[in-house]
């Protein structure tokens, strides 16, 4: 299904039955299919809404450079059009950051986060990266900047379009710690102890920032911990949201 919001088309699926509306938001470079394993297991007693965030899946790129707040506003407008006013938000990574902003601004029943960044991650620069960066300073080689970026950037950056790269840069550099402090809804934070994208320490920092929250670590799991132990994830969500 498609809704036209903020001058772009937003693709989503809407299925299941129940009083609770579960809204699932995927990570960067992903699409609806990454959240369907959760939605499909919970559709019996819940309304399931999974969104292709603009720029991913079957939702075209925004027509302007969106901020994270624009993405949260887009989800709010979509849910308003679907008569959803008090959702259970479930977000992974990029979708989790959008969920954090949404929950800091709008009414949310409960919040479930999977490996959700909320501030800039500083990673060690490899020798290869240092070499590429130094080459950019050499006269006559600065024209190779775009080529260098393809090697220097993360996989997400390299695989994104020039337009989406600008959005990605805005996303990774944005610190929303002050927004997160405003979240009042009950929150659970599921995180893999071996997450190399967003370290487990961030989960416990989030727990301190959100007044009613708890961390559930998945020992030995990665950035995709919620899928690696999908059965446990489903059981936790069922217990958390109730009604089953």
In angstroms, the CA 65 to CA 190 distance is 30
Q: What letter would DSSP give residue 61? A: P
Task: Give the pLDDT of residue 154.
Answer: 54
Strand, coil or helix: 62: coil
CA 86 to chain centre: 19
Task: Give the pLDDT of residue 155.
Answer: 64
Element (H, E) at 147: helix 145-152
pTM given for the model:
0.86
pLDDT mean over 64-90:
96
Q: Could you report the per-residue pLDDT of 186-239, keeping only the tens digit for each?
A: 999 999 999 999 999 999 999 999 999 999 999 999 999 999 999 999 999 999
Is the pLDDT assigned to residue 137 strictly greater than 70? no
- For the chain, the structural domain boundaries read 2-119+175-241, 122-173
161 band by pLDDT with thresholds 50, 70 and 90: confident
Task: Give the pLDDT of residue 123.
Answer: 57
Residues 6+ apart with CB under 8 A from 193: 200, 217, 218, 219, 220, 221
In terms of CATH architecture, what is 2-119+175-241?
3-Layer(aba) Sandwich (3.40)
Task: Give the pLDDT of residue 126.
Answer: 47
215 near 198, Cβ under 8 Å?
no
Considering only CA atoms, which of 191, 202, 194 is closest in space to residue 233? 191
Task: Give the pLDDT of residue 164.
Answer: 86
Sign of the dihedral defined by the CA atoms of residues 212, 113, 39, 106, in that order: positive
Question: Judging by DSSP bridges, how do beta strands 187-192 and 213-218 pair with one another?
Answer: parallel
Is the pLDDT assigned to residue 129 strictly greater than 70? no
């Amino acid at each position: 299904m498609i809704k036209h919001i903020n001058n772009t088309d937003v693709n989503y699926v809407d299925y299941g039955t129940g009083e609770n509306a579960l809204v699932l938001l995927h990570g960067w470079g992903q699409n609806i299919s990454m959240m369907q394993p959760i939605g499909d297991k919970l559709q019996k007693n819940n309304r399931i809404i999974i969104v292709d965030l603009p720029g991913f899946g079957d939702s075209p790129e925004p027509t302007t450079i969106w901020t994270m707040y624009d993405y949260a506003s887009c989800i709010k407008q979509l849910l308003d059009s679907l008569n959803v006013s008090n959702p259970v938000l479930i977000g992974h990574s990029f979708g989790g950051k959008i969920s954090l902003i949404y929950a800091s601004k709008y009414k949310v029943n409960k919040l479930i986060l999977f490996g959700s960044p909320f501030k800039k991650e500083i990673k060690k620069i490899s020798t290869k990266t240092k070499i590429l960066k130094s080459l950019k300073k050499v006269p006559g080689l600065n024209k190779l900047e775009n080529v260098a970026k393809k090697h220097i950037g993360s996989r997400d950056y390299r695989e994104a379009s020039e337009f989406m790269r600008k959005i990605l840069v805005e996303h990774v550099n944005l610190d929303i710690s002050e927004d997160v402090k405003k979240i009042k809804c009950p929150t659970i934070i599921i995180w893999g102890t071996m997450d190399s994208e967003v370290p487990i320490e961030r989960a416990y920092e989030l727990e301190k920032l959100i007044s009613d929250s708890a961390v559930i670590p998945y020992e030995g799991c990665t950035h995709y911990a919620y899928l690696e132990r999908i059965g446990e994830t489903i059981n936790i969500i069922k217990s958390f949201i109730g009604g089953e």
